Amino acid sequence: MLVAGSPPDWALVDITVPRSSIRLPGVAMAGFHHRAPARVDLAMVAHPSITVLIDLSEGAGTVYDTRDRHERGSVVVGLLPGDLRAGGQGAGECLQIRLEPVAAAAVLGGGSAELSGELVPLAELWGPEAAHTEERLRAASSWDERFTIAAALLARRLADRDAVDAPVAHVWRRLAGSRGRARVEGLADEIGWSRKRLWARFRAQLGIGPKRAARLVRFDHAAHLLASGRPAAEVAAESGYADQSHLSREARVFAGLTPAGVAAAPWLAIDDVAWPRVAGVPAPGGV
């Protein structure tokens, strides 16, 4: 998962990703098995996905804390979660599912737009199916079987609902594909909507305004470049920021860090393993 602060030793974290045959559009999954006996305390950072964390640990499980909420077990983290920490004691397992906002509207229901900035128990959204899914995943004999179970559930939910207008989905794809650099005003003209209508429908269905969505996608791209060792001035220019100061302000907004802090922070350390790019196409939350 994306983390900052004082992470566990990643040598003690086993990461498994699904075979390409069971991947779904707008969905990325990864399995985490933490073998360290010590306490884990992770600060999670915003990225352009809604995250479902299914806790498969035995015993107390993982605890999630924001300024307003304290939750244990399987949770859903909306866009722009703010100050969010995850903690636990001892070894544990977790299936993390990243959903692009368009896919999340189907998988989690139309209320997913209300998740922006929120942390909620998975059971609040899936009801009894949340506990049933946890039981099936715990009983599975391998991560491959777990991914197959999860993919079948997600595929059914994706097929059952069409919660986002096609023009809204198109604008999200254009923002993601341009790494946040597409002009939102131009996208309104592109879909034949007024700017006011696009702003209202996008926010109502995805839980975030299109300009803020573009900023989040752009920062996610810049953060990966910084973590790869690129100089901040070069990253700012390549990512479409006015200058390095502009990048610094956005890093503070979305990560609470300076660009140097983003580059040094460990929260991108496992992205290439957990969320691999396929044929140059970014996985949800990646670049």
pTM above 0.75, yes or no: yes
Query: Would you give the DSSP letter of residue 269?
Result: T
Question: What residue type is 46 in one-letter code?
Answer: A
List the structure tokens of 123.
């059971």
* Polymer length in residues for the chain: 287
Task: Give me the CATH topology for the region 166-274.
Answer: Arc Repressor Mutant, subunit A (1.10.10)
List the structure tokens of 98.
């990243």
Buried b (16+ CB within 10 A) or exposed e, 150-177: bbebbeebbeeeebbbebbbebbebbbe
Helix then strand then coil, in percent of the chain rounded to 5, is 50, 20, 35
Residue 172 has φ and ψ, to the nearest 5°, of -60, -45
Q: Cα separation of 52 and 75, whole Å?
A: 6
List the structure tokens of 102.
């368009």
Q: What is the pLDDT of residue 286?
A: 42
In the β-sheet with 50-55, what is the strand arrangement from edge to edge? 13-16, 27-34, 92-99, 50-55, 75-77, 119-121
Q: What is the pLDDT of residue 230?
A: 93
Q: What is the pLDDT of residue 110?
A: 67
**pLDDT by position in tens, the chain (length 287):** 333 334 445 556 788 989 888 889 899 999 988 766 555 566 666 789 999 999 998 766 677 777 777 788 899 998 887 777 666 655 678 899 999 999 999 898 767 888 888 889 999 999 999 999 999 999 999 999 999 999 999 999 998 766 789 999 999 999 999 999 999 999 999 999 999 999 999 999 999 999 999 999 999 999 889 988 899 999 999 999 999 999 999 999 988 889 998 887 656 666 666 766 543 344 554 43
95 DSSP β-pair partners: 31, 54
Cα 141–chain centre separation: 27
Contact 179, 88 (CB under 8 A): no
Each domain of the chain, given as residue ranges in start order, spans: 4-160, 166-274
CATH of domain 4-160: 2.60.120.10
User: What are the angstrom distances between the C-alpha of 186 and each of 142, 174, 200, 276?
Assistant: 47, 11, 16, 31
